[in-house]
Structure 1
Amino acid sequence: MKQNDLRFAIASQGATICVQFLHPLDIIKTRMQSHDGQTHKNLVPKYGSISNAIKQIYKEEGIKGFTKGIFWSLCANSIARVLFFVFYESKKEECNSYFGHGSKKGILIASIYASLLAQLITQPLWVTLTRLQLNVGKMNGFENVKFTIQQIYNQHGFLGFYRGLKMALFTSCHGMIQINCYEWTLSLLTQLEQYKDFNSFIAGGFSKGFAIFCTYPMTTIKTRIIQNQFIGSENPKYKSNFDIANKILEHEGFRGFYKGITASMLKGMPSKAIYFFFYEHFKDMLNVGRTKNNN
């Protein structure tokens, strides 16, 4: 690994730790996303709203219900973000030599490359995390992780950890959309020369919200297909990604694709705003910050 790659990794890891306190909203988002409104074959109760979800989770699972999978989430996010930004920054430097600094083509190519590679490597982590968050039982911590991994492997083998991979690769465009929107917004704010110290904060929050809105229907389908393997293989609720989409439209309408998006926005936008704020500042501290040419 090149010295700059190591520094990008450290910057990414430091920023990841700073946003982990928003994990409870991720649990609520995943559970609301997974429920189809029907009375059967659902792993979690139906939550009418974020406040209703908070009340039900606290009543049935206690305060620990809001921390399920939190350390696994930290691990998954740390690995995914480190991989993404190491791949992205490395490929962007390579593209800069071909297309020039700040080239839109270079940013696009680097973001696609980084998104696909990071998603492919970390898919088992996300499958496990989704299952941890959908577990409404009393298990917590390592016991929950051990049970979940054993259940996936015993019932579905190694391929069970790659459930929903096709849709996951499509949703990897989330990172591409986000980083391109981030770079564009950051460049615009830099030119305006306003809120200079908070440019990365504003750009990070806005880009995350835009990416969530664009890709949320795909993440809903991905969550449903991952959930599907735990309901039972004898008579699964869903047969394919297209079957999921059709049933969502039939039973829940178009809004069904956006279940839990409020929780996702409340978690995603501030977390990414904080993340990019610290990421850029850590890069400056580690002397791998942006040059004037890059802006």
Structure 2
Amino acid sequence: MSSSQGSTLSSNVAELVDGSSAHRDVSLLDDVPVYVKELIAGGTAGAFAKTVIAPLERTKILLQTRTEGFQSLGVFQSLKKLLKHEGILGFYKGNGASVIRIVPYAALHFMTYEQYRVWILNNCPALGTGPVIDLLAGSVAGGTAVLCTYPLDLARTKLAYQVADTRGGFRRGMKSIYAQPAYNGIKDVLTSVYKEGGMRALYRGIGPTLIGILPYAGLKFYVYEELKRHVPEEHQSIVMRLSCGAIAGLFGQTITYPLDVVRRQMQVENLQPLSQGNARYRNTFEGLSTIVCNQGWKQLFAGLSINYIKIVPSVAIGFAAYDTMKVWLRIPPRQKSQSISPG
């Protein structure tokens, strides 16, 4: 009898301990502010998506900036050339800077979108609760994230622009460029650029970036949320979110892509010799007109094909991963957050 009672007591104590532990885990997670959870979910989603498409991102930058030896190559030929001369690691050159940039960028982008959305709903009832809210919140969130992380994007572009021949010379008749990279890492880029031109140099190209990100970010969130609204909650699977994200990314990117080309050329213009006919752009609109006059209108869409290949998994994975992280972190659905204050 006493043995049985002891066993029962031990069982009850074990259940109590396990229950208390589980309750503590739930309590700790629930005590974390919503905006912190959104930062974690956004940063994780951004880093995961960016790493998956890193090889395509590197190739796109080489095509956009008309890097010697890559002007006339297609997507797959460029990937093959990079693999031959730089190996697998060549696909990920600049990805460290890209991930370091994308974590705070994506974290701020998603979090501020959620917070701006709630603020607009609570303070601007005249706008209603329709998709225009996603358009406005997404646009402002994109601008906020860009302003906070732009120097890291500049560093990523300069590192990716360098092509070092680590596996022997290029084809006969083509000289190897930047055999000795001008920059050795993110810190070296930021330090060198700051010494050359101060804070203004660190934000070189911010004009076309902001002009491009405002409509792009707004359209991306608008299309994604609008597509999701037409799918019942019980049918919103990972595949559905990937599909909605892919369509949103393609739509937004097509409209704003020429501004991205101008931004990239402005970021690396000090690395390109003037003898190649590369102009210096004072502003976004001068960049657009100069590229059309000197390089042809098709250059405004250079690398767009690879951007399509890249944007499908990038935006799709980003949105799907963010929504999944929101479930794991028990972030309240947006519909239930409209009547509460941010945070």
TM-score by length of 1: 0.86
> Residue 11 of structure 1 aligns with which residue?
41
Give 1:39's aligned residue: none
Unaligned runs of 5+ in 1: 36-41
2:230 pairs, out of 185, 188, 191, with: 188
Aligned to 1:25: 56
- 1:172 partner SS: helix
Q: How many residues align?
A: 287
Residues 1:127 and 2:154 aligned together = yes
Contact 2:42 2:108 in 1 (8 A): no
Alignment partners' CA distance in 2, 1:157 and 1:55: 38
Measured in 1, the distance between the counterparts of 2:278 and 2:92 equals 29
Taking the TM superposition and a 5 Å limit, the aligned residue runs for 1:213-292 are 213-231=254-272, 237-240=279-282, 241-290=284-333
TM-score (norm 2): 0.75
- Could you list the per-position Cα deviations for residues 27-71 of structure 1 after superposition, in whole angstroms to 9, with x for gaps in the alignment? 111110111xxxxxx566424101111122123222221111111
Identity, in percent, stands at 21
Q: Which runs of 5+ in 2 are unaligned?
A: 1-31, 167-179, 339-343
Runs of 4+ off more than 4 Å: 193-197, 232-236, 291-295
**Shift in alpha-carbon separation, 1:101–1:290, aligned structure 2, 3 A:** farther
Task: Identify the range of structure 1 (62-71 vs 95-104) with the bigger mean alpha-carbon deviation.
Answer: 95-104
Q: CA deviation at 1:80?
A: 0.6
Name the CA shift for 1:236/1:205 in 2 (closer, same or farther; >3 Å): closer
Query: What value does the CA root-mean-square deviation take over the aligned residues?
Result: 2.8
* Equivalent in the alignment of 1:80: 105
User: Do structure 1's residue 110 and structure 2's residue 130 form an aligned pair?
Assistant: no
> SS of the counterpart of 2:280?
coil
Match for residue 8 of structure 2?
Answer: none
Which amino acid in structure 2 is aligned with residue 58 of structure 1?
L
The aligned residue for residue 153 of structure 1 is 194
Q: Is the 2:131–2:225 Cα contact (8 Å) retained in structure 1? A: no
Aligned 8 A contact 1:217 1:258 in 2 = yes
* Equivalence for 2:79: 54
Give, in angstroms, the shift of residue 291 of structure 1.
Answer: 5.5
Cα drift, residue 255 of structure 1: 2.0
**d(CA) in 2 for partners of 1:165, 1:43:** 25
Distance 1:162 1:118 in 2: 14
Q: Is the 8 A contact 1:229 1:236 kept in 2?
A: no
Shift of 1:292: 5.6
